[in-house]
Amino acid sequence: MIIVVAPGQGSQTPGFLAPWLDVNGVRDHLETLSDAAGIDLVAHGTVSDADTIRDTEIAQPLIVAASIVTGSLLLENRRTVVGGLAGHSVGEFSAACLSGILSDVDAIRLVGVRGRAMANEATKVPTGMSAVLGSDIDVLQARLSELGLTAANMNGGGQVVVAGERAALAALAAEPVPGSRVIPLQVAGAFHTDYMAGAVDILRAAASTVIPADPTIAIYTNRDGTSVSSGIDYVNLLIGQVSSPVRWDMCMNAFVHDGITGLIELAPAGALVGLAKRGLNGIPTVAVKTPDDLVAAIELLEAS
């Protein structure tokens, strides 16, 4: 069973969409999504610098658009051989689109609302996120409680992303849990925590205008790794996910339970393949960064 996954914020790099513009239909698709997002995705994916595409309002729709476009190419005439879909954080919107729950225009419109709302919440209190590598989770949780921090992304493979006020993150970096390494992340705020509660309300209002369909490909939720069969339920989970932890570890556990034999990560790929290599017992993986990678992904999918 091949699982197709979509990455979250932080996976983008300057110019990553440039090689895709020569693929038939990609530019037109991106321009349609640009109109829905209210930003120029072609420009941001080809010529904008790292600081520009790090901005939450730009990063989120850019990443989701890339996954939707490359996922549409991968799944064309191959939907029946995909075992399941999942997205990490904002990548869940990409998965929702590819599974048939949301149209591509509705997905990218809601992501635009999400990105703007989260960016606005991040201006209210100086917060951020840091990756913690190699820590015993129980010991780490005790340290986080001391500092008022939250485990925002439980990524598996020995990686936890923690979030909270910047002073507390600095204290964790200065005195980490023994044997662990703390890496500050270049994000604007404490995503997937209570600091984002205001963004949940804004996204819920925007999503009230959308009529979701039930998924036509199995889809897993970051809430607890379970497969969701109702489109309405999945959209409600998407809304709540803004201020709740990402349980990618539970998603990977579910993949193993359901018999995963390979994993394909859509553009801008790399992070989730890295976690899979550490946490999924050496299954074949493909990170779809360029059109050449898409060929390898199609071969893996069709061989399943």
Residues recognised as catalytic? 89, 192
HSE-CB at 232 with a 13 A cutoff on CA atoms is 3
3-state helix, strand, coil in the chain (%, to 5): 50, 15, 35
- From the list 204, 241, 256, 298, the residue with the least C-alpha distance to 91 is 241
Contact indicator for 125, 165 with CB cutoff of 8 Å? yes
Return d(Cα 239, Cα 164) in angstroms, integer: 20
Rounded Cα distance, 233 and 247, in Å: 17
Give yes or no for a contact between 264 and 301, defined as CB atoms under 8 angstroms apart.
Answer: yes
Burial class of residue 302 in the structure, from the number of CB atoms within 10 Å of its CB (0-12 exposed, 13-18 middle, 19+ buried): exposed
Question: Measuring CA to CA, which residue among 157, 164, 173, 179 is closest to residue 274?
Answer: 157
Radius of gyration of the chain from its Cα atoms, rounded to whole angstroms: 18
Which residues lie closer than 8 Å to 122 by C-beta, 6 or more apart?
Answer: 56, 188, 189, 190, 195
Structure tokens that stand for 147 in this block: 């500092």
What is the rounded distance in angstroms from the CA atom of residue 171 to the CA atom of residue 90?
A: 28
